[in-house]
Amino acid sequence: MKIFGVTGWKNSGKTGLMERLIAHFTAQGLRVSTLKHTHHGVDLEKPGTDTHRHRVAGAQEVVLASSARITTLHELRDDPAPRLAELIAGLTPCDLVLVEGFKGASHPKIEAHRVETGEDLLAPSNDTIRAVASNEALPDLDLPVFDLDDTAAIAAFIADVTGLAPRKPKGLKNDCFALPPGVHWTPVDEALDTLRDRLSPVVGTETVPTANSRGRILAADHMAARSNPPGANSAVDGYAFAYAGLPAGDVTEMPLMAERAAAGGPFTGTVPMGHAIRILTGALLPDGVDTVVLQEDVQVDGQTLRFPAGVKPGANARAAGEDVEAGKLALPAGHKMRAPDVALLSALGLPDVQAFKPLRVGVLSTGDELAEPGTTTDTARTYDANRPMLLSLAEGWGYTPIDLGHVADDRDALRAAFDTAATQADVILTSGGASAGDEDHVSALLKETGSLHHWRIAIKPGRPLALAQWNGTPVFGLPGNPVAALVTTLIFARPAFSVLAGGPWLASAGTMLPAAFTKSKKAGRREYLRARLNEDGRVEAFKSEGSGRISGLSWATGLVELPDGAMDIAPGTPVRFLSYDSLGIT
Query: Which residues in the 476-495 window bind Mg ion by CB under 5 A?
Result: 480
The listed partner (ligand AMP, Mg ion, none) that binds 479, CB under 5 to 8 Å by sort, is ligand AMP
Pairing mode of beta strands 382-383, 400-407: unpaired
Binding mask 376-405 for ligand AMP (x = CB under 6 A): ------x-xxxx------------------
Query: Which residues in the 433-462 window bind Mg ion by CB under 5 A?
Result: 433
Coil/strand/helix, residue 470: strand
Compare residues 464 and 558 and give the one whose CB is closer to Mg ion: 464
Cβ proximity of 442 and 477 under 8 Å: yes
Q: Does 461 bind ligand AMP (CB under 6 A)?
A: no
Instruction: Compute the least distance from the CB of residue 387 to ligand AMP, in Å.
Output: 6
Residue 225: count of CB within 10 angstroms of its CB:
14
Residue in 430, 400, 426 with CA at minimum distance from that of residue 417: 430
CA–CA separation, 300 vs 294, rounded Å?
A: 12
DSSP assigned state of 490: I
**Cis before residue 461, ω within 30 degrees of 0?**
yes
Instruction: Compute the least distance from the CB of residue 432 to Mg ion, in Å.
Output: 4
Q: Of the listed pieces 46-54, 85-93, 300-308, 426-434, which binds ligand AMP according to CB under 6 A?
A: 426-434
Compare residues 202 and 553 and give the one whose CB is closer to ligand AMP: 553
Cβ proximity of 242 and 271 under 8 Å: yes
Q: Which of 433, 462, 502, 552 touches ligand AMP by CB under 6 A?
A: 433
Query: Which residues in the 462-481 window bind ligand AMP by CB under 6 A?
Result: 479-481
| String of DSSP letters for 91-124 | SPP-SEEEEES-TTSSS-EEEEE-GGG----SS-
Instruction: Compute the least distance from the CB of residue 377 to ligand AMP, in Å.
Output: 17
Instruction: Compute the least distance from the CB of residue 221 to Mg ion, in Å.
Output: 46
Cβ proximity of 252 and 275 under 8 Å: no
C-alpha distances (whole Å) from 60 to each of 37, 49, 54 are 20, 17, 9
Cβ proximity of 382 and 447 under 8 Å: no
The listed partner (Mg ion, ligand AMP, none) that binds 386, CB under 5 to 8 Å by sort, is ligand AMP
Rounded to 5 degrees, φ, ψ at 158 are -60, -45
Size of the site for Mg ion (CB under 5 A): 4
Q: Which of 229, 432, 461, 477 touches Mg ion by CB under 5 A?
A: 432
Q: Which of 124, 238, 367, 503 touches Mg ion by CB under 5 A?
A: 367
Q: Which of 288, 321, 432, 502 touches ligand AMP by CB under 6 A?
A: 432
Instruction: Compute the least distance from the CB of residue 381 to ligand AMP, in Å.
Output: 9
Burial class of residue 547, CB neighbours in 10 A (0-12, 13-18, 19+): middle
Compare residues 334 and 479 and give the one whose CB is closer to ligand AMP: 479
The listed partner (Mg ion, ligand AMP, none) that binds 482, CB under 5 to 8 Å by sort, is ligand AMP
Q: Of the listed pieces 76-84, 311-319, 432-440, 567-575, which binds Mg ion according to CB under 5 A?
A: 432-440
Residue in 403, 434, 440, 435 with CA at minimum distance from that of residue 420: 403
| C-alpha of 534 from chain center | 38
Residues that bind Mg ion (CB under 5 A): 367, 432-433, 480
